[in-house]
Amino acid sequence: MLRTHTCGELTIKNIGQPVTLCGWLARSRDLGGMTFIDLRDRYGITQLMFNMDTHKELCEQARKLGREFVLKTTGKVSERSNKNSKMPTGDIEIIVEKLEVLNESKTPPFTIEDESDGGDDLRMKYRYLDLRRTPVRNNLLQRHKVAQAVREYFDANGFADVETPFLIKSTPEGARDFVVPSRLSPGEFYALPQSPQTFKQLLMVSGFDRYYQIVRCFRDEDLRADRQPEFTQIDCEMSFVEQEDVMNMFEGMVKHVFKKVRGLELPAFKRMTYTDAMKYYGVDKPDLRFEMKIVELKNLSPSGGGKGEDVVSGKNFKVYDDAELIGGICAKGCAEYTRKQLDELTDWVKRPQIGAGGLGYIKFNADGTLKSSFDKFFDEASLKKIAEKFSAKPGDLILILAGAEERTRKALGALRLEMGSKLGLRDKNKFECLWVMDFPLFEWNEEEKRWFAMHHPFTSWKKEDEGLLNTNPGAVRANAYDVVINGVELSSGSIRIHNRSQQEKMFKLLGLTPEEANYKFGFILNAFEYGAPPHGGIAFGFDRFCSMVINNEDYIRDYIAFPKNNSGRDIMLDSPSDIDAKQKKELGLK
- Binding interface with RNA (CB under 7 A): 27, 29-34, 36, 38, 47, 49, 51-53, 66-67, 80-84, 86-87, 90, 93, 107, 109-111, 117-122, 124, 173-176, 194-195, 197, 219, 221-222, 224-227, 351-353, 410, 452-457, 555, 557, 565-567, 569, 571
Nearest-angstrom CA–CA distance, 333 and 197: 48
Question: Residue 10's closest CA among 81, 99, 76?
Answer: 76
- Cα distances from 357 to residues 30, 267, 353, 489, in angstroms, run 63, 41, 12, 28
Helix or strand run (H / E) with residue 460: none
Nearer to RNA, 111 or 170 (CB): 111
Taking the complex as a whole, the smallest distance from the CB of residue 263 to RNA amounts, in Å, to 28
Nearer to RNA, 312 or 480 (CB): 480
User: Which segments within 438-515 are labelled E, that is strand?
Assistant: 442-445, 450-453, 480-485, 488-495
Nearer to RNA, 221 or 291 (CB): 221
Taking the complex as a whole, the smallest distance from the CB of residue 372 to RNA amounts, in Å, to 28
Nearest-angstrom CA–CA distance, 368 and 365: 5
Q: Cis peptide before 576, with omega less than 30 degrees from 0?
A: yes
Residue 333 is classified by DSSP as T
Cα angle 157, 160, 163 (rounded to 5 degrees) comes to 150
Taking the complex as a whole, the smallest distance from the CB of residue 65 to RNA amounts, in Å, to 9
- Cα distances from 562 to residues 37, 125, 558, in angstroms, run 30, 10, 9
- Cα distances from 377 to residues 192, 316, 380, in angstroms, run 59, 7, 10
Taking the complex as a whole, the smallest distance from the CB of residue 555 to RNA amounts, in Å, to 6
- Cα distances from 520 to residues 28, 504, 524, 526, 555, in angstroms, run 63, 12, 9, 12, 35
Taking the complex as a whole, the smallest distance from the CB of residue 86 to RNA amounts, in Å, to 6
Nearest-angstrom CA–CA distance, 365 and 91: 58
Taking the complex as a whole, the smallest distance from the CB of residue 49 to RNA amounts, in Å, to 5
Taking the complex as a whole, the smallest distance from the CB of residue 302 to RNA amounts, in Å, to 19
Q: Are 289 and 451 in contact (CB under 8 A)?
A: no
Nearer to RNA, 149 or 217 (CB): 217
Nearer to RNA, 372 or 479 (CB): 479
Taking the complex as a whole, the smallest distance from the CB of residue 409 to RNA amounts, in Å, to 11
Nearest-angstrom CA–CA distance, 544 and 228: 11
Residue 475 is classified by DSSP as G
Taking the complex as a whole, the smallest distance from the CB of residue 355 to RNA amounts, in Å, to 7
- Cα distances from 483 to residues 11, 130, 271, in angstroms, run 44, 32, 9
